[in-house]
Structure 1
Amino acid sequence: MAAVRRRRTARTVAGATVAMLVTCALAAVTALLLPGGGAPGRNGGPVTAAARPAAVAAPAADCTDPEASLRPSTADGPAVRRIKERGRLIAGVDQNSYRWGYRDPATGKLDGFDITLVRAIAKALLGDPDKVTFLTIPTNQRIAALKSGKVDIVARTMSISCDRIKEVAFSTAYFQAGQQLLAPKGSAVTGIDDGSLAGRRVCAAAGSTAEAELAKRAASAKVTTVPNQLDCLVRLQLGQVDAILTDNALGAGQAAQDPSVVLVGKPFTTEYYGVAMNRGAEDLVRRVNAVLDDYRAGGASSPWMQAYRQWLARADLGITAPPEPKYRD
């Protein structure tokens, strides 16, 4: 009966969300799919394997500080020069994460904290924040999009981890988050380690750190994976799952979309978001780190704080400043 009541109370919100998802998907197909399935290269065609830099040596096996990145530099190397010659930055982003990367139904345009950061990178590289092509990609396709050369960067709430730095390079951290459960108000689900997930249906995005954490911490839960975080919210609204595991920063955005759900328990991990790039594009990594240094600078009036106040301050995540950068050479 509780599930029936939840479905009834959420029906209006769910219907609106599903409609928005359909609209977003159609808009993405119309505006963002490119000929040949690839991103535009120097002359408008796909970025070819020959145009991509060779991979560099893998990080040390004893990874202890994956957030440590290359020191910033404004020197142009081959990866930066290709972007300048093309005249556009190609960025992999989300269009379904409210306040992070989402398509505003009122304007049809992408916006959010990650989108604002991408525009700052485009302005630094090309002198114009609008010289960027956004490609919306599912969570589990972020690394593949970089390896195939479809995108120059991925800015999509992507946590830096020891496993991921074996495959892609990251900038310094630009946001701190943690895994936390999202459930309907009054739910019996109260935390990850208190046994309340036993036998419960839990949703996570495929390829996310949440999926990995569920495998480690909640083996008795019935896990459902979906391509994008917003798909989990729709399933929760329809009563198809009992809870969602996601980053608290993303969960707060979903709770803002649907006031019948709430974050429960406490964050149980510490994760840092970074801008991901091809592992051979060291000059681009250093250049993005230089952009981030400027983006963080200025205290309360920094571009980072301005973006935080615009998009995330209402989520009450307890964030007062950007994370300090760490460097490895």
Structure 2
Amino acid sequence: MKQLFRRVGLIVSALAVLLVLTACGSGKALSDQNVVTRAKQTNTITWGVKADTKLFGLMDVKDGRIKGFEIDLAKALTKQILGSKGKASFVQVTSQTRISLLNNGNIDAIMATMTITPEREKQVDFSRSYFDAGQSLLVKKGSGIKSVKDLNKKGATVLGVVGSTSVQNMAKAAPKAKVLQLSDYAQAMTALKSGQGQALTTDNGILAGMAVENPGYELVGGSFTKEPYGIAINKGQGEFKGDINKALTQVEKSGEYNRLLKKWFGSVAGFNYKEMER
């Protein structure tokens, strides 16, 4: 009799687990669930964004909110996809953590100054480009450095961020220079100020924001690569990718894209936002 009760108890427990899994979305991992279906159910899209990158995504210590071009664009896309009452939720990511957070289902999409590359396309799918950046250099004013060619020599050290394409590009553009990789842009800027390197390299839009915060530093050399930013999503989310591309087109046609571009980049010295308009 005891064995019978024990067996019945096991069956009941198994059924309870099955019901819980069904209630949670047929037992599928978050990353495997249809993002559009879930977003419509919750009326929310969760975006992975930077919080240390001025102009694109920077934490405002006064109110604890992340603000920037990518934040405003994500909100605009969310409303296009879900309607005027749709909500955009934000999770802070870095160049090292963004893909793993996406693959694990912690976020629905990445909009975090992420360049579209063939290598990354093996891991994730991308929307079409929403910002056409180019790699440049940030140096101390009066440094004498005018272009990436001035750094292609022994003894030169260039600072970059782990997980960014700029580090790989620098190895090609100035193979004789040493590249020192830091965990984020704040640490890279601190390293530049302390003399650990002669230049900091990444995309021009990011460097423009750093130059605004640090008047003693300037962009030099123009752009020596093309770095189109795309919105990354998990593979197998074709409906979501289509909705994002459609929403981006609508935001561009309405003029909202150019308004956001002017809002965040219109007054940045050395950055011609007019060239970026759509």
Q: TM-score, normalised by structure 2?
A: 0.84
Query: What residue in structure 1 maps to residue 267 of structure 2?
Result: 314
Conserved? CA contact 2:30–2:104, under 8 Å: no
- Output the CA distance in 1 between the equivalents of 2:159 and 2:75: 31
- Output the CA distance in 2 between the equivalents of 1:153 and 1:163: 18
Query: What residue in structure 1 maps to residue 31 of structure 2?
Result: 52
Q: Specify the SS of the correspondent of 1:91.
A: strand
State percent identity of aligned pairs: 31
- Counterpart of 1:133, as a letter, is S
Q: Specify the SS of the correspondent of 2:145.
A: coil
- Counterpart of 2:180, as a letter, is T
**Structure 2 residue 60 is matched with structure 1 residue 104:** yes
Deviation of the 1:241 alpha carbon: 2.3
Cα gap change, 1:128/1:321 in structure 2, threshold over 3 Å: closer, same or farther? Answer: farther
- Counterpart of 1:245, as a letter, is T
Cα gap change, 1:186/1:198 in structure 2, threshold over 3 Å: closer, same or farther? Answer: farther
Larger Rg: 2
Deviation of the 1:268 alpha carbon: 0.5
Query: What residue in structure 2 maps to residue 95 of structure 1?
Result: 51
Write out per-residue CA displacement over residues 77-130 of structure 1, whole angstroms, 9 at most, x where no aligned residue: x32011122332111001111111001233321111000011112222333577
Q: TM-score, normalised by structure 1?
A: 0.71
Conserved? CA contact 1:121–1:129, under 8 Å: no
Conserved? CA contact 1:198–1:218, under 8 Å: no
Query: What residue in structure 2 maps to residue 155 of structure 1?
Result: 111
User: What are the ranges of 5 or more consecutive residues in structure 1 without an aligned counterpart?
Assistant: 1-42, 55-77, 325-329
- Counterpart of 1:306, as a letter, is R
- Output the CA distance in 2 between the equivalents of 1:49 and 1:181: 45
Within 5 Å, which residues of 2 pair with 1:71-220? 78-128=34-84, 131-195=87-151, 198-220=154-176
Query: What residue in structure 2 maps to residue 71 of structure 1?
Result: none
Deviation of the 1:256 alpha carbon: 0.3
Deviation of the 1:153 alpha carbon: 0.5
**Structure 2 residue 223 is matched with structure 1 residue 267:** yes
Deviation of the 1:218 alpha carbon: 2.2
- Output the CA distance in 2 between the equivalents of 1:215 and 1:91: 31
- Counterpart of 2:263, as a letter, is Q
- Counterpart of 1:304, as a letter, is Y
Deviation of the 1:280 alpha carbon: 1.3
Cα gap change, 1:122/1:295 in structure 2, threshold over 3 Å: closer, same or farther? Answer: same
Task: Tell me which moved more, 177-186 or 228-237.
Answer: 228-237
Deviation of the 1:191 alpha carbon: 1.7
Q: Specify the SS of the correspondent of 2:139.
A: strand
Deviation of the 1:287 alpha carbon: 0.3
Cα gap change, 1:87/1:129 in structure 2, threshold over 3 Å: closer, same or farther? Answer: closer
Conserved? CA contact 1:305–1:321, under 8 Å: no
Conserved? CA contact 1:255–1:263, under 8 Å: yes
Of structures 1 and 2, the one scoring higher in RCO (CA 8 A, sep 6+) is 1
- Output the CA distance in 2 between the equivalents of 1:129 and 1:157: 26
Q: Specify the SS of the correspondent of 1:189.
A: coil
Conserved? CA contact 2:102–2:109, under 8 Å: yes
Write out per-residue CA displacement over residues 22-56 of structure 1, whole angstroms, 9 at most, x where no aligned residue: xxxxxxxxxxxxxxxxxxxxx9x9xx8634339xx
- Counterpart of 2:197, as a letter, is V
Conserved? CA contact 2:31–2:102, under 8 Å: no
Deviation of the 1:249 alpha carbon: 0.7
- Output the CA distance in 1 between the equivalents of 2:124 and 2:85: 25
Conserved? CA contact 1:169–1:276, under 8 Å: yes
How many residues of Structure 1 are paired with residues of Structure 2 in the alignment? 255
- Output the CA distance in 2 between the equivalents of 1:314 and 1:321: 14
Conserved? CA contact 1:174–1:322, under 8 Å: no
Deviation of the 1:167 alpha carbon: 1.1
